[in-house]
Every structure is written in C-alpha cells, then in structure tokens.
Structure 1
Amino acid sequence: MLKSLEGSWCLVLGASSGIGRAVALGLADEGVHVAGVHFDTAARAEEVEELVEDIRGRGVEAHFFNANAAAKATRARLVPELAALTGATGGIRILVHSLAFGTLVPFTPRAGWDRHLTARQMEMTLDVMAHSLVYWTQDLLAANLLRTGSKVYAMTSAGTSQHLPSYGAVSAAKSALESHVRQLAGELAPRGIAVNALRAGTTVTPALRRIPEHAGYVERAAENNPHGRLTRPEDVADAVALLSRTESSWLTGNTIGVDGAELHAAAGAWG
C-alpha cells in the first residue's frame, strides 16, 4: 500500500549538489523534512544556505551539517543530533548515500598522466564511496533511527562494468557499494528495512565533470538513450520518492536502473 511521506525525515549524505541536492528538494516537495550532510568550502556557503532556504520554503524543516560524512567523528557527533531531531517522529524514514569523492587516476603508469594510484588513495575512495554506507547504517540502527518501513538508497553507476582510464578506484568502490547493499538488505530484512542501490544513467553533475574523460562519455550516452537526453538528477529524485511510499521491504537488495533505458539501448540502434 502506498502512503504519504509527509512529516517523515530523510537523511541525505552528499546533499549540497548533484543527485543529493535534487533528492533533498524532491523529498521536500513530498513534505519530507531534510537532514543533509555535505562537505564544502566557505566559497559555497552562500549557495548551500540558499538551498536550505529553498527547502524550508516548501514548508518543511531543513538542517544541514558541513562535515566529512565519511569520518567516524562526524557520525559520533551527528547521530545524537539526528536522534533529537527525528527520534520522536519515527526516526529516519529515508537514508540516501550520495557521496561522490574519490581519486580519478589510472592504476599504473600511463602516457599523458603524471601519477598513478597509491594505496592511500584506493583506501580513501573505497571508504568514502562504499564503506561509509555500512558505518552510517550501523550507527543509525544502533540509535534506533532506522525502523520498520525505512528505506536505504545508495547511488551506484554503470562504471561497475565499464572501463575508463581514470575510473578504476571509483569502479571498485561502486562494486563494493553494491555488494554492501546486498549484504545489508539480507541482514535488515527481518526488521522490515529495505536497502537498494540506484544506478542512475549518465547524469551531468559536478562529480561527473571531474572525470577527465567525461566529455566523450557524455556524448556517447546521449546518443544511446532512447529518450533523446541524458538522465537528470530530478529523475533519480522521482525514483526515490516513488519507491519510498510503501511500507513494504519486499523490494530490497537490488541494483535498480534509473537510466531511461540508456544501458539497454547501448547495444542497439534507436531512431
């Protein structure tokens, strides 16, 4: 049975830009209060404050925290604050993991590149983009903030099965993230909590623009999408809202494509 999300709370990790930003705004339109964690310099402070005011202007609460979401100290500090905000009204209904910070260099020496991947960079990329999902879920669960009916979403990509010269560490992180989703889904099923990965199609975000080869990749993706356009952050936000309206945890442990059939179309021709 579908139900209204109005009055519930979401926690968006990576809330200030790209897909995380769109999800925060989209859920606010559904009447969901928004807690957001982002990691930005002072140069973006005004832009983030405008986003917070935009969310509040939709009639909901918005509390943003500028902190490293992958740090243990951040979780230790914020989980009690989240409990105070949300604990009396059902906890965190929707957790969205949209952290896109990783090293973009080849594994091995390569012409045109002045460096290659180090062990520290690999570990950081996996920790931020994959393992932090597990740690946040553990801490929120321990604080009784994830309850029956809660939904957990992790943002993955087609990079798990595609090759780009600079994308190796991120590809490994996204593969680990999907594995973590399957494991968490199995462990949280008895509690009635659903965990899924959302595989957005090619979406022009600040994270995508940081990929050195992004221009050619974007061009090919646009040609391959039968909708005649790329995926937009709002497409993913719509999917999060739609999937979150049910109390059921039966749809869980999946990697769900939100790509307008882009990946299916890549092998064929569309006119």
Structure 2
Amino acid sequence: MTNKVALITGGTRGIGKAIAKRFAREGYQLVLNYMRKKSDAEQTKNEIEAEYGVEVHLVKANVKEMEQIQALFAEVKERFGRLDVFVSNAASGVLRPLMEIEPTHWDWTMDINSKAYLFAAQEAAKLMEQGGAIVALSSLGSIRVLPNYVTVGVSKAAVEALTRYLAVELAPKGIVVNAVSGGAVDTDALKHFPNREELLSEAAQRNPAGRIVEPEDLAETVYFLCTPAAGMICGQTIIVDGGLSLLC
C-alpha cells in the first residue's frame, strides 16, 4: 500500500482523524484538509507520522469555496500524481429550530456539506485513473428528525442522494462510491449541540449495543468500503449506530 494516497477532508480531528489513522495503519500516504487551527493540524500530522511512518501532507482549504476545492486537488496531483481514496468528511451547519433558520444559515450548511461533496468528488475522480473509492460521511439526521438539526439533516440527505448518483456514474470508471452514517458520536462537533448531554445520555442508555458509537467504529467501516472486499457495494449508505435507529 506504500504508494496509495488517501485524501480526507476535515481529517485532522474527531472522526476525520480516526479515519486518517485507520488508513495510515495500512500504509497509505495521507493528504489531510483542515480549515482552522494549524497548530492542531500539525499535531495530528506529527502524531500519525511518528506512529505509522507514512507521509502526511496538510492542506488548508475551505471546501465551501470552489476555487479552494480545485486548489486542494491540484496540490494532491502535484505532490503525489494520483489519488486512490477520497473521504468527504468535512462538515458544518447551523443548529437552530426550523422557524429560526435564515437563508444564510441554509446556504452555509448546504455549501459545505453537500455542494462541496459533489464538486470535490468530480475533482477526485479525475485523479483516479486506475479506479478508486469515494466515501462520504452522513448522519442519522438524514432520515430522522432531530432537534435543531433541520439544515444539517437536509444537507446529509442530499449527501446520501449524491452518493447514489455518483456511484452509478463513476462505477464504469472503477470508482466505488458509498456513504457511512453514524449515530451520536462524542466529538468536538457535538459540543455545538445545545442538547449534547441529552443526546449522548439517550444514545448510551437505549443503544442495543450498550454504548455510544466511537470515531473508530466509523473509521473501520469507511476503510472497509475502500477495500476490494467492498467492490460490489455501490451507492449505499451504511448505518453504524449499534442498532439505535432500529428502535421506535
């Protein structure tokens, strides 16, 4: 795997960092996109390189902006000349009740969570001349109604729909496209939820698996979908939640 390259947006913390470590464990060279704290990104880079001995290349980019998406993939091409795996993990969103949502809230969330996925996937496909894998991160809010989650939930539903369209169109090129949807995961992103404690408590108490989902649970599924064993899984959204969504 020493020549294989994986690009993970939002790959320096939380779920993205867990995914990065999973691919590093298999010898992938990594391109990790981040948007805010360079010091945190560099800490992740140093940690992964020291532990796994792979190259980690950091690229700061706001995937909301088309020019920055193009610059991100241009840097991948210049540095590695190829791309084998693209994980669309970067996400953001405004958490407010439906009646308080404003047009700017809607545009911000949809641009980062779904529009960026479409156009980044286009750029990724151009670098996958020998085939590859694309995986997007979704959440249960795409199929369930969660408090204050309307903009994010709708954007994630769009992610899952885009996954199906991308999968069918890119399959003849040898590119496998799927999505992974997680239950409540205790990461920094969840701290923005006004009902964070309630979400985590309910998930832990009601989950048939007896615990909440960890970032590593999602990372394992993302990695599996990028292996030959998953070559005939096409356009699916795999739910990783310990069975919580099966309950009424």
TM range (shorter): over 0.9
Pair 216,7 (structure 1): closer, same or farther in 2 beyond 3 Å: same
Q: Is the 8 A contact 1:38 1:69 kept in 2?
A: no
Q: Could you say which residue in structure 1 is the equivalent of 2:122?
A: 138
Amino acid at match of 1:237: A
Residue 101 (structure 1) aligned with residue 63 (structure 2) = no
Contact 1:194 1:252 (8 Å CA) reproduced: yes
**1:59-85 CA-partner distances (Å, limit 9, x unpaired):** 111011122122112123222211022
Alpha-carbon spacing, 1:248–1:228, altered in 2? closer, same or farther (3 Å): closer
Q: CA separation in 2, counterparts of 1:29 and 1:127?
A: 32
**Aligned-partner Cα distance in 2 for 1:81–1:48:** 17
- 1:17 alignment counterpart: 13
Question: 1-side partners of 2:231 and 2:129: how far apart?
Answer: 11
Q: Distance in 2 between matches of 1:165 and 1:232?
A: 22
Q: Give the structure 2 partner of residue 233 of structure 1.
A: 215
2:56 alignment counterpart: 62
Matching of residue 158 in structure 1 with residue 149 in structure 2: no
What residue is the counterpart of 1:46 in the other structure?
39
Q: What is the CA–CA distance in structure 2 between the aligned matches of 1:151 and 1:126, rounded to whole Å?
A: 23
Larger RCO: 1 or 2 (CA < 8 Å, sep 6+): 1
> d(CA) in 1 for partners of 2:93 and 2:8?
18
Q: Share of identical aligned residues, percent?
A: 31
Q: How does 1:89-238 map to 2 (within 5 A)?
A: 91-108=82-99, 116-141=100-125, 144-238=126-220
Which of 78, 82, 87 is the equivalent residue of 1:84?
78
Task: Indicate how the Cα distance of structure 1 residues 164 and 263 shifts in structure 2: closer, same or farther if over 3 A, else same.
Answer: closer
Asked if structure 2 preserves the Cα contact closer than 8 Å seen for 1:189 and 1:249, the reply is no
Among 29, 32, 46, the alignment partner of 2:28 is 32
Matched residues, number: 247
Name the amino acid aligned to 1:46: S
Q: Is the 8 A contact 2:178 2:225 kept in 1?
A: no
8 A Cα contact 1:149 1:246, kept in partner: no
**Greater helix proportion:** 2
The structural deviation recorded for 1:157 is: 0.7
Q: Which stretch shifts more, 53-62 or 161-170?
A: 161-170
**1:30-64: per-residue Cα shift (whole Å, max 9, x none)?**
11111011111xxx433221110112111111011
CA distance 1:161–1:241, shift in 2 (3 Å): closer
The SS at the match of 1:92 is coil
What's the counterpart of residue 72 of structure 1? Answer: 66
Where do 5+ consecutive residues of structure 2 fail to align?
Answer: none
The 1-side partners of 2:77 and 2:193 are apart by 37
Asked if 2 retains the 8 angstrom alpha-carbon contact of 1:102 and 1:125, the reply is: yes
Contact 2:62 2:69 survives alignment (8 Å): no
Tell me if the contact between 1:224 and 1:263 (Cα under 8 Å) persists in the aligned partners. Answer: no
Unaligned runs of 5+ in 1: 109-115
Query: Do the aligned partners of 1:133 and 1:154 also contact (CA within 8 Å) in 2?
Result: yes
